[in-house]
Structure 1
Amino acid sequence: MKKEPLFIAFSTQKGGAGKTTLTVLMASYLYYVKGYDVAVVDCDYPQFSLKDMRERDLKNIERNPHLRRAAYEQFKRLGKRAYPIVGSRPDHAVEAARPFVESETPPDFVFFDLTGTVNNMGLIKTVATMDYIFCPIAADRFIMESSLKYAGILNDTLVTTGKSNIKGIRLLWNMVDRREKTDLYDIYEKVIAGMGLEVLKTSLPDSKRFRKEGAEEGDRPLFRSTLLPPDRTLAKGSGIDALAEEILEIVNR
C-alpha cells in the first residue's frame, strides 16, 4: 500500500516572519539528517525564492571544492540525490505536487512555501488541502497582528467548520530575543489561547546563523541550504532539531 504524503506549509500573511527559511531548513533537516523523503513546492510567485536558492546552491557546489566534497560524501552516505523543488502559482500548487503524490515512491512530506494573502479563492482552496500549517510569529506588533489575524481566519473558516483537510494549525515563536522579558510572550500567549490557537513548545532564536548560505569559495560552515543539512556546529542551540522532533510528533511520523 502506497504511503500518503503529508502536505505541510509554513505560512503567514506577514513578510519577513521567516516562513521561506523555515521551509528549507525543515525540508533539508528531515531529508538529509532524518532520512525522510521530501518534495517542495515553491509558491512564491513570481520570484520563486526557493528555486533561486537551489540554483545558487548548485552554482556554489560547482565552484567550491569544499562544498563539492561535502555534497559527494553526503551522496555516498545517503545514496540519493537532492529533494525536488518545483515552482508553481499558489492556486496551482496542488496540481504541481500531484506527480510526486502519484509516483511509485511518493514522499513522506510535501512542503509548500505559500504566500499569505487570504482574499484569493484559488489560494484559499490550496490552503484548505494542507494537512498541517505552521505559522511563524515574532514579538513584533505588526508581525503579531498580521499573523494572528491570518491564523484566526484560517482556524475559524477552515478548521473549526470542517471545510478543509487541515488537521491542525500551530503558531511558532521565531526570531526570539532571549534578552527580552518573558512577560511580553506570556501576554501574547494568553491572547493566542483565547483565540483557540496553540503555540509550539519549541522556539527559535534571533540569530544570524539562519542567514548563512554557502559561498563560491572558502570553507565557512553553512546553515541554510537546499543541498546540504545545517552545519552541526551551527545547528547547536538553533532549535532546528527540537522543532523537527516536535513536528514529527504532531504529525505522527
Structure 2
Amino acid sequence: MKKKPVFIAFSTQKGGVGKTTFTVLTASYLHYACGYNLIVVDCDYPQFSINAMRQRDAQGVDCNPALQELAATQFSELQKPTYTILCATAEVAVDTVREYLDTHDSDTDFVFFDLPGTINNDGVLTTLSGMDYIFTPISADRISLESTLSFSAIIKEAITDNTDTANKGIYLFWNMVDGREKTPLYAMYEKVIAELGLPVLKTAVPNTTRYKKEVMEEGTTLFRSTIFPASRTLLRGSRLKELVEEILSIVKPEAYGRKE
C-alpha cells in the first residue's frame, strides 16, 4: 500500500505576495537539500509559470558549464532526478495528482499546488478543500492585507473548520518585512489576525531581491530554481531555511508514513 503524501498549497487571493515563489523555493529545498520526494502541480493556467520556470532553468543549465557540473554533482549525490511538475487546471488538479500517483511507482512525501489567486473560481475552492495544509504569505500593505485576511477567513470557515474536509489548518506568515525586526505595526495587525482565529508562523521573511533571483548565465549563485536548491550564499539571511523547518514542524510528514 502506497503512503499518502502531504498535500500543501501556498495560496492567497492577492497576487504579487509570493505564493508561486514560495512554492518553488520550498519544494526545491525539501527535494534537493532535505532529501524528500515531491511533486509540484502548476495550476496557473494558461501560462503555467512554474513549468515555464523549469524550461528557463533547463536552458540556463544548457548554456552554463558551471551549472552543468553542479547538476551532475547533485544527481550523483542524490541519486534522483528533478521533481515532477504536473500542469493542470484547478478544477482537475487533485484528480490529476491521484491518477499520476496511481500509475507511477513513486515514493512521494509532498505534493505542492500552485493555484490561481482567486476564489471566484469554483475549482480553486474545490482544490483547496483537498489540501492537508494551506500556507498564506501576507505583507504589511493595508489593501493587500485586508484582501488576504478576507480570503483566509473564508477558507478557514468553509474548509478548515469544515469537518467534511481533511484540511488541518491555514497558516499565515509575514513576507517582504522591512528591516531586521518587525515593527509595532505588525503587532497591531497580528492582534486583528488573532481575533479572526488565524495562526501566524513565527518566521518572518525579509524584503530582499534574492527571492527573485533565478538561474544566472555565469556562475552558480542562484536562489529561485526548480532544478537546484537555493545557494548557501543567498540562503543566509533569507529566513527560507527557518520557514521550511517551521512548516515541517507543523505538517509532520512522518505522520503520513514517510519512509527513511
Q: Same fold (TM over 0.5)?
A: yes
**Secondary structure of 1:150's aligned partner:** helix
Gaps of 5+ in 1: none
Of the structure 1 ranges 100-109 and 162-171, higher mean CA displacement relative to structure 2 is found in 100-109
The Cα shift of 1:179 comes to 5.9
Counterpart residue number, 2:70: 70
User: Matches of 1:191 and 1:101 in 2, distance apart?
Assistant: 41
Counterpart residue number, 1:141: 142
CA RMSD, Structure 1 to Structure 2 (Å):
1.3
Percent identity, please.
Answer: 52
The Cα shift of 1:50 comes to 0.1
The Cα shift of 1:143 comes to 1.4
The Cα shift of 1:105 comes to 2.5
Please say if residues 5 and 101 of structure 1, whose CA atoms lie closer than 8 Å, have aligned partners that are also in contact: no
Counterpart residue number, 1:157: 158
User: Matches of 1:83 and 1:104 in 2, distance apart?
Assistant: 14
Counterpart residue number, 1:14: 14
**Secondary structure of 1:101's aligned partner:** helix
Q: 1:184 to 1:64 in 2, by over 3 A?
A: same
Deviations 1:145-204 (A, max 9, x none): 111011000001122132322111000101111167611100110000000100001111
The Cα shift of 1:120 comes to 2.4
Is residue 2:223 matched to residue 1:218? no
The letter for the 2-side match of 1:81 is P
Of the structure 1 ranges 89-98 and 72-81, higher mean CA displacement relative to structure 2 is found in 89-98
Deviations 1:75-126 (A, max 9, x none): 0000111001111111111122123432332410000001132122222111
User: Matches of 2:90 and 2:101 in 1, distance apart?
Assistant: 18
Of the structure 1 ranges 95-104 and 6-15, higher mean CA displacement relative to structure 2 is found in 95-104
What TM-score comes out, normalization by structure 2 length? 0.93
Counterpart residue number, 1:250: 250
- The structure whose residues are more often strand, as a share, is 1
Number of residue-to-residue matches in the alignment: 252
The letter for the 2-side match of 1:59 is Q
Please say if residues 180 and 206 of structure 2, whose CA atoms lie closer than 8 Å, have aligned partners that are also in contact: no
The letter for the 1-side match of 2:170 is I
User: Matches of 2:37 and 2:99 in 1, distance apart?
Assistant: 14
**Secondary structure of 1:39's aligned partner:** strand
User: Matches of 2:182 and 2:235 in 1, distance apart?
Assistant: 25
The letter for the 1-side match of 2:223 is F
User: Matches of 2:202 and 2:250 in 1, distance apart?
Assistant: 11
The letter for the 2-side match of 1:51 is N
Counterpart residue number, 2:24: 24
Please say if residues 13 and 151 of structure 2, whose CA atoms lie closer than 8 Å, have aligned partners that are also in contact: yes
**How does 1:1-253 map onto structure 2 within 5 Å?**
1-102=1-102, 103-178=104-179, 182-215=183-216, 217-253=217-253
What TM-score comes out, normalization by structure 1 length? 0.96
Please say if residues 203 and 242 of structure 2, whose CA atoms lie closer than 8 Å, have aligned partners that are also in contact: yes
Q: 1:239 to 1:152 in 2, by over 3 A?
A: same
**Deviating 4+ runs (over 4 angstroms):** none
The Cα shift of 1:252 comes to 1.0
**Secondary structure of 2:40's aligned partner:** strand
Deviations 1:213-240 (A, max 9, x none): 112x311510000000100010011111
